[in-house]
Structure formats: C-alpha cells, structure tokens
Amino acid sequence: MGVKKRLLPGIPLIESPLFDAEVAQAELTTDEHEIAVALNRNGYAVIDFPDTELDARITRIRERLTAQFVETGLSSDGVVYGVGRIQDAWIKDPDVKAIATNRQILDLLERLYGRAAFPFQTLNFRVGTQQPLHTDAVHFSSIPHRFMCGVWVALEDISPESGPLQLVPGSHNWPMVDNATAGRRGFGVSSESAQLPYQEIWDAMVAAKGASIKTFEARKGQALIWCANLLHGGSPQIDPGMSRWSQVTHYFFDDCVYYTPAFSDEYLGRLQLRNLVNIVDGMPKPNSYLGEAVTQSPARAPRKSPTLMGRLRRWMQG
C-alpha cells in the first residue's frame, strides 16, 4: 500500500497542523519519527552527524580555515570573509562541501519536510556569534512558507564559556514576523542589518510569553536541525580566548519561490528573489511555484551585495 497523499503539501510535514495523522502515515524509522516529533514540538532536534569521516574532515577544515579568519570582504574565488565567520567556504573547501551535501542529511530532510532538500549556503565559525535571538525567516524564506531549515554541526566540544547556541523551544510556532506585520516597507530599502528592524519585536515576544531560553552545549560531532522560524542566537562569550568551531548549512526545498523577506513587500508583489546555486552540483536553482518557473520581477530593486552566481561567474572568468 502506498503512502496516503498529504492534504497540505504546501506545509512541511513537521510543521503541519495535521502532524499526528500525517506522521503516522509517513514511512519513517523509529529514530526519524523521534526527530520529526522533536521538530514539531520544539522547533529543533539534536542528532549525531552521520559521517564516519567527520573527525578527519574537522581537522582539515580547521587547518585550512584558521588563517583565513583574519580576512574580510569578498574574495576573487567567491567566498565571503567576515570577522569570525566565512560564508560559502564550500566553493573551495571539499570538506565543508561534504558536510553540506551529506546524502543521509538530505534524505532525512526530504522525509521530514515532504520535498527534496538542497543546500544553498554554508557558514563556518571559529568563535561564537553572540547574536541576539532572531529567526532565519527574515533572511531567507520561501513560498510556500517554512520550506527552509538550518543544520548546525559542532566542530569541537562546546564549552559554556565559549558562547554556545541559544534556542527558544516552541518559538517556531509563533507568528512569522515580516514587513507587513512590522508596518514597514522593505523593498529597495537599505539596512545595516536584515534582522535589526525586527529585534525589538522578537525580544518583546519572548518577554510577553515568558519563554524559556535553552543553551545547547554540544559535543563534537553533534548536529542541530532547526526550523525556519525558530528563535536562536549566540550566548555571550565569557572567555574571549575560547573558540567555538562550527558549521551551519542552510537548506531550501524543491519547487518554491526563494526570497529575502527583509527586503520584500510581498503584498505589493515586490520580492527580493534569490538567485541560488545548489551546492550539491553547483548548478543554478530556479524559483518555481507548482512546477511553473518564476522569473525576476521587472521592479526588482538593485542590491549592492553580489549574488552567489555572480561571485562564481567572476571566479570562473578569472
């Protein structure tokens, strides 16, 4: 007997209001079912990263990237260097790419969300971010909503003094904050931060709900899957000399429109669409909706930051 067709295919399985009935119909192992329940209830799940070569990869990543954290800006190879973080190191580091494209993770995400997943961005950190609580949904979102997630991997044992991750369990179920709810326009508006305009709102929601904040002191090799709207951040780095090596990969799912809500006015038809590359094969990943291609709006506002496709193109052209 085949799996019953989902009534709400435009909502990820793990976020469905029909979760209990749908997960019972899904072909999940016992472990996968536990992960699905954790994501549905809490907005995140902890797993051991499924890679027998992970220790060796971690050693090589740390050896190769250590000296590069002193750089800042966009390099000729398409990698973006910042203070304490490197974006899209997968372009030139095979181990970063291997973690991002791990087949078991991709298969797991497909079963949890009901659509095929693809990685589109990596971030490597040497130290804790100390970021305020925020959701990824203002940076990158999808239509249908919530078809995005992050997978964070600890590349060393994380000490309480190093600034471990902070999470707000259950916050993925809170309303998604966007420009419409915040009463602001975003399309074509420059901002020093995509998330700064919403910070006061998130902080107020946490306070109003009396929400608990959980600190994740991961051990090396543990991974955390989090939902698109989960509030998370970095706790204070008590010991400034301590590292917190980690890698996060962000994933979208097939047949969606991919865009940046912080710089969009959805209800005016003005979307800051993303021009993505599937890290698995290095090919462009087009925006689509129910199988129909979605092209860039003629009213698209220019953005100063180059797209990943543009960075790759310049790199290949020398």
- Is 264 inside any structural domain? yes
- Is 72 inside any structural domain? yes
What are the DSSP calls for 60-78, one per residue? HHHHHHGGGGG--EE-TTS
pLDDT above 80 for 216:
yes
- Is 268 inside any structural domain? yes
Query: Domain of 126?
Result: 30-313
Query: What SS3 state is found at 151?
Result: strand
- Is 284 inside any structural domain? yes
Distances (CA, A) of 85 to 16, 66, 76, 97, 306: 34, 10, 17, 16, 18
* DSSP type of residue 307: P
- Report the domain count for the chain: 1
Q: Where does the pLDDT of residue 192 fall: very low under 50, low under 70, confident under 90, or very high at 90 and above?
A: low
pLDDT digits (tens, 9 = 90+) for 4-51: 689 999 999 999 999 999 999 999 999 999 999 999 999 999 999 999
- Is 102 inside any structural domain? yes
Amino acid at site 151: V
- Is 243 inside any structural domain? yes
pLDDT digits (tens, 9 = 90+) for 259-278: 999 999 999 999 999 999 99
* CA distance linking residue 177 with residue 248, whole number of Å: 23
* CA distance linking residue 317 with residue 70, whole number of Å: 26
* CA distance linking residue 208 with residue 90, whole number of Å: 40
Name the pTM for this structure.
0.91
- Is 161 inside any structural domain? yes
Confidence at residue 84, expressed as pLDDT on a 0 to 100 scale:
84
- Is 201 inside any structural domain? yes
* CA distance linking residue 73 with residue 164, whole number of Å: 26
pLDDT above 90 for 193:
no
- Mean pLDDT computed over every residue of the chain: 91
Query: What SS3 state is found at 199?
Result: helix
What CATH number is attached to the domain comprising 54?
2.60.120.620
pLDDT digits (tens, 9 = 90+) for 163-172: 999 999 999 9
